[in-house]
Structure 1
Amino acid sequence: MEYRTDRRLTPDEYIELLNASTLGERRPVAHRETIQQMLDHANLLVTAWEGDTLAGAARCFTDFAYVTYCSDLCVRESIQRQGIGKELLLKVHEAAPCRIVLLAAPKAVDYYPHIGFTQHNSAWLLDPGGLR
């Protein structure tokens, strides 16, 4: 597995990976323009490659000093449980050696404590147009 921080993805590559990882169930994969913006504005993208195949990705926003928000961590479902997700997060931490924050997908809730994350009980969400 080759891990890279210097390769940008096309929306089609990312959509295919999201769908192969099941994260596509919770991402706007039918809206290519939105996916393009998601890729354009992430300032840290770590990818995992098995030859020419995109195996996984960690799409993040970071200030490189205090906090990194990992918005997406996805690995192809067919190759999960091989340490690829953990290695992607290790590469994120190497690039931005600070706290990593994320919201777990329902199917991954038990994964993060297994690799060393601690649960935080005061996350808050505000949808567009929800501010009163």
Structure 2
Amino acid sequence: MAIEYRVNAPVTADQFIELLNASTLGERRPVDDRACMAGMISNSNLTVSAWEGDTLVGISRCVTDFHYACYLSDLAVHKGYQKMGIGKKLQALTQQQLGPRCKLILIAAPGAADYYSPLGYSHSERCWVLEPGAFLGNAG
């Protein structure tokens, strides 16, 4: 099995949905909302993908300024391809696309929290999430 890695290669919404469903991320993403999924993949400005032939088996999907912050929105590897180093390689290739001062930032899936520390990530309790429709104070 030869895995090919590609930077910013086209990924269709259907390929993205299929991969998320074949990984653990499908449970936590709006995979039943194809328009949302299409927007997620098309508006990412950095993707690194892993392919076996024409089959998408892994992805690192990011939104970044390339200089200071890179939010790694999705790191997904097909269950049949996990524990082969694909996720680590995706992260390393993602980091190679970034400037020397750029931080890689992510929110870990509940079952993956122990995965990131051995890779060099530091844990932060400073993350805040505002859900759609939540109160924004006196913003206007």
Fold conserved between structures, TM > 0.5 = yes
51, 62, 65: which one pairs with 1:63?
A: 65
Count of residues in Structure 1 that have an aligned counterpart in Structure 2 = 132
The alignment's TM-score, normalised by the length of structure 1, stands at 0.96
Report the counterpart of residue 103 of structure 2 in structure 1: 99
The reply on whether 1:54 has 2:44 as its aligned counterpart is no
The reply on whether 1:110 has 2:114 as its aligned counterpart is yes
Unaligned runs of 5+ in 1: none
Letter in 2 for 1:63: D
Q: Name the CA distance, whole Å, in 2 between partners of 1:22 and 1:124.
A: 23
Give the superposition deviation at 1:6: 3.3
Report the counterpart of residue 45 of structure 1 in structure 2: 47
Give the superposition deviation at 1:91: 0.7
Q: Is the 8 A contact 1:49 1:55 kept in 2?
A: yes
Q: Is the 8 A contact 2:63 2:70 kept in 1?
A: yes
Q: Which runs of 4+ in 1 moved over 4 A?
A: none
Q: Is the 8 A contact 1:2 1:48 kept in 2?
A: yes
Give 3-state SS (helix, strand or coil) of 1:35's partner: helix
For residues 25-46 of structure 1, the C-alpha deviation after alignment (integer angstroms, 9 at most, x for no partner) is: 0000001000000011110011
Letter in 2 for 1:124: W
Report the counterpart of residue 14 of structure 2 in structure 1: 12
Report the counterpart of residue 126 of structure 2 in structure 1: 122
Q: Name the CA distance, whole Å, in 2 between partners of 1:54 and 1:128.
A: 30
Larger Rg: 2
The alignment's TM-score, normalised by the length of structure 2, stands at 0.91
Unaligned runs of 5+ in 2: none
Q: Is the 8 A contact 1:8 1:45 kept in 2?
A: no
Give the superposition deviation at 1:96: 1.3
Give the superposition deviation at 1:12: 0.5
Report the counterpart of residue 72 of structure 1 in structure 2: 74
The percentage of aligned residue pairs carrying the same residue is 49
Give the superposition deviation at 1:128: 1.3
RMSD, matched Cα: 0.9
Q: Is the 8 A contact 1:70 1:102 kept in 2?
A: yes
For residues 39-90 of structure 1, the C-alpha deviation after alignment (integer angstroms, 9 at most, x for no partner) is: 1111001100112211100000110111100000000111111111110011
